[in-house]
Amino acid sequence: MQDINYSGNHLDDKEFRIKVSTGGDINNATGNAIVGEMFLETGASPAFYIAAGTSTMEDSFIYKIADITEI
Amino acid sequence: MSEINHSSQRYQNKPFAIKVRTGEDITKATNDAICGEVYLETGIAPSLYIGNKTSSEAETSIHRIADLTQKVGDVNLAHIGNVGDPSTSTSGKLYTETDPTLVTDKGFVFSFWFYDNGEPAAPGGQIFKSNHQNNYILQSTSASGSTGSLRFASWATLTEYDPDKVSVSGTSYTVKYQTKRLNNITHVTEESADGRGAQVSSYLNGELIGHAQTRFFIYPADILLGVGNASNISIGDVGFWKDDDTSGFIRSIERQVPAIYNNGQMSDWMQLAQAPWHYWKFGEFVGQDVPDEGTASTNHMILTGQAKQRTYSLDGADGTNYTFSGDAAGTDPTLNAVVTDTLTFTNNTGGHPLAISKTVNSKDMIFSGNPGSGITTDYIIKGGDITVSAWLKPQASTNSADTDTFHIFSDYTSGGNEGRLAFGGKLGKGWYATVNGPTQKQIWSYGSESTGTETIPIANMLDGNWHNLIVTVNGTIAKFFLDGSLAWEVDTVHGIAAGTLPVKIGKSWGDMYLFNGEINSISIWETNQDVGDNILDNIYRQGIPNDFAGTTYPDASFGVTKELDVINFIDPVLNAYDKSGVNIKYSTINQGDNEQILIEESSGTLVFNPNYGEHNYFCKAHPTTMRGVINVLPLMSSQKITGIVRT
């Protein structure tokens, strides 16, 4: 996915981000998601996600907030 | 909660903020919330909130935007039960859904995940069914239990298939799969090239396993899910796509089908050219909850359960009776007694695994190889999957009878089909086993016949040490393990049928194939235990019970070290055995990035919870049997646990 915005800082020596990534496949974001990062999945079935935890080697914590429907 | 970014200004002397905070307790943000602030609640039940009013002493207004329950990569399972008579009962029904336009005459695609725990299933369970002419797309097939297969019925004859995975019978074919793991089936239909029928392509775990060419058209029809009969299987993430135009949609999907499997993790549907027309995502703990009918409070996330134990008795010919029993928690039965006479082995209660631990003059079972030696049990092979483990120490002998084949575990009898499983060896030749009787399928003979694999001479086992043999039958696939390593694997074609005669230890029926040597710890599971990376290896490394002299434990240098991958339910149970025969000395479970959990000098039953979330770990040790067992069970499929245990 492509980063389209970024703002981050460290708290207690941990990295936090407000960042929005876009792309057609949310699975491409599972390897390096940072807590707080948001993901806009584009394509035929767009959806909005957020990482509730920072990805590890074994797991990622990306959750769907909502499917996006056209107004 | 902690602030992780901040941008604010004042308007009409009121503060407004665009700010994100994270933390595990949203209530900690209520006192100082600012209008516009966004809150990400982390932890086991993450949610996203926003404040639409700045807090005052009297009032706070924080609203939940969404529960974050649909995690990318999750496969959520719901269970179709196995209760009631499938011919009359619908109690195993999970869910019924119809959509009159789901199947079109152009074709469709459906993909789903399933988990078969290997327990017996009712026959004919209709998992997916078209209501047009009752075409069963998938159904459970075995009359005697789950055989690790799903039938794709009424799709006519295959034009090509992989014989290792697919068997053909009439107008249907059966796909074999591995039990006790997540599998993905993806089924693609499309109008045939000549326009005179339909063809179907089926994928198991991303691999193309067969094409079928039908003689009839695909008719518009409903798809019924979990209808009528029970099937005893967990399914999830069922997605349907229909071909509602001719723009190459089906072919586009077919090319991407292997990506759906994505190495064991579900890829997102949206990577396909078109979103699914119909999508059922079952969640037992998150999202939509679809319980079994009639058991609304029951969650059926599959975990590998602890097998129950049998109770046994040894009846000496001198009239002395010795009993020994395990318990429902899994403690092995043990018997420490000095007996000097011929023994008959009986079991009193149902359950498994069956474990025989018997001492003769404070040692193991000793067989002379002469007529009359050997043991008669009352265990009759149930049929279906089975695992048998035996420790033995064969001995060379000048007795001419020892040049003949001997049986370690056998219900074989001459002149008929009674034998279902027998294995042993022949001095100077190699190991020997039959499955389902000699007249149906003799799968190994001295490690060479039928399979063409190398012969492993039995002389290798005459080194004075104990050696372990494990035989597993999974569906039609039988394997033979020597000291923890796979020696032979063969397709028995017929599988294993229910036996009619009790099993003999150290000989066969008719007082034939007498074994000369020592045997200890024969264990039987009425399931296939070849289900994970190290299940059988652990069985081997458990060693033989140390309640008799001469025990040779595996080298402690490797101990029991294992990494669990319970997200796929492959190894939710870990057994650790102490070399010194006392207790677990030191065990560490490292749960992801969580703090480590230490268990020291465990004894009795110990239940502990880590300081993270609500994960439930269960640890127990059995000092009486000098054995420790650690079970690490996930509550949700989304939980991932890695564990390292050393003894």
Residue B148: CB atoms within 10 Å: 24
- CB < 8 Å to B71, chain A: 61-64
- Quick: pLDDT tens for B218-242: 444 445 555 444 455 666 666 666 6
Query: B206 to each of A40, B187, B476, how far by Cα in Å?
Result: 27, 11, 22
Cβ–Cβ of B4/A18 closer than 8 Å?
yes
Confidence of residue B138 (pLDDT cuts 50, 70, 90): low
How many residue pairs bridge chain A and chain B with CB atoms within 8 Å of each other?
Answer: 94
pLDDT digits 0-9 by tens, B380-436: 887 888 888 777 778 765 444 445 678 888 888 876 556 788 888 776 666 777 776
Which of B580, B430, B611, B501 is closest to B44 using CA atoms?
B611
Q: What is the mean predicted confidence (pLDDT) over B334-352?
A: 42
pLDDT band at B127 (very low <50, low <70, confident <90, very high): low
Decide if pLDDT at A47 tops 70.
yes
Distance from CA of B558 to the nearest CA of A (A): 24
The answer to whether residues A50 and A63 touch, using CB atoms and an 8 Å cutoff, is yes
Q: What is the pLDDT of residues B69-119, one digit of tens each?
A: 666 655 545 444 433 333 333 333 333 333 334 444 556 666 776 666 555
Reduced to 3 states, what is the DSSP secondary structure of residue B9? strand
Neighbours of B8 (CB within 10 A): 13
Measured CA to CA, the distance from residue B411 to residue B506 in angstroms comes to 11
pLDDT at B49 over 80: yes
Report the alpha-carbon distance of residue B51 to residue B201 in Å, rounded: 51
Listing DSSP states for B325-379 in one string gives: E--TT-PPP-------S-EEEEE-S--S-EEE---BTTB-EEEESSTT-SEE---
Segment among A59-68, B11-20, B450-459 with least mean pLDDT:
B450-459
Higher pLDDT, B174 or A55: A55
Mean pLDDT of chain B: 54
Separation of alpha carbons B215 and B198, rounded Å: 7
- The highest-confidence range among B418-422, B437-441, B631-635, by mean pLDDT, is B418-422
**B632: helix, strand or coil:** strand
- Band the pLDDT of B456: cuts 50, 70, 90: low
> What does the CA dihedral B291, B294, B298, B300 come to, rounded to 10 degrees?
-60
pLDDT at B572 over 60: no
CB-CB neighbors (< 8 A) of B2 in chain A: 11-12
Residue B452, token pair as written in the block: 């063409």
Tell me which chain A residues have a C-beta less than 8 angstroms from the C-beta of B269.
45
* Cβ(B435)–Cβ(B443) below 8 Å: yes
Does B264 contact chain A (CB < 8 Å)?
A: no
Q: Answer yes or no: is pLDDT of B517 > 70.
A: yes
Residues of B in contact with A66 (CB under 8 A): 66
| Cα gap B428→B405, rounded to integer Å | 10
Nearest to B208 by CA among B199, B197, B217: B199
Question: Which pLDDT belongs to residue B385?
Answer: 83
Segment B256-268 mean pLDDT: 39
Using an 8 Å Cβ cutoff, are B378 and B399 in contact? no
Measured between alpha carbons, how far is B547 from B625 in angstroms, rounded to an integer?
8
Q: Tell me: the pLDDT tens digits for B359-371?
A: 332 335 666 666 6
CA distances from B320 to B251, B347, B519, B547 (A): 73, 16, 22, 21
Mean pLDDT to the nearest integer, B182-211: 67
- CA B154 from centroid of its chain's CA atoms: 29
Tell which phi-psi region holds residue B148, choosing left (phi > 0), alpha (psi between -120 and 50) or beta.
left
**B537, containing H or E segment:** helix B535-541
CB-based contacts of B419, cutoff 8 Å, min separation 6 = B410, B411, B412, B413, B434, B436, B437, B438, B499, B501, B508
CA distance B569 to chain A (A): 15
Percent of chain B with pLDDT over 90: 0
Who contacts B460 (Cβ-Cβ below 8 Å, separation ≥6)? Answer: none
pLDDT band at A3 (very low <50, low <70, confident <90, very high): low
Most A CBs within 10 A among B241, B271, B565, B642, hence the mutation to make, goes to B271
Backbone angles phi, psi at B331, to 5 degrees: -65, 135
pLDDT at B619: 38
Question: Judging by DSSP bridges, how do beta strands A14-23 and A38-41 pair with one another?
Answer: parallel
CB B166 within 8 A of CB B172: no
Give the pLDDT confidence of B35-48 residue by residue, as tens digits: 777 888 877 667 88
Question: How is residue B310 written in tokens?
Answer: 């049998």
B5 touches chain A (CB under 8 A): yes
Average pLDDT score over residue span B254-278: 39
Rounded Cα distance between B480 and B463, Å, is 20
Is the separation of the CB atoms in B473 and B385 below 8 Å? yes
Give the Cα separation of B449 and B456 in Å (integer): 12
Contacting residues of A for B72, CB less than 8 Å apart: 26-27, 30, 49, 60, 62-64
* Per-residue confidence (pLDDT) for residue A64, from 0 to 100: 82
What is the C-alpha separation between A56 and A30, in angstroms, rounded? 9
List the one residue out of A38, A29, A32 whose CA is nearest residue A5.
A38
Tokens of residue B12, six digits = 């009409």
In this complex, which of B72, B274, B592 lies closest to A56 when CB atoms are compared?
B592
For the ranges A64-68, B20-24, B62-66, B263-267, the lowest mean pLDDT is seen at B263-267
First-to-last alpha carbon distance for chain B, in angstroms, is 41
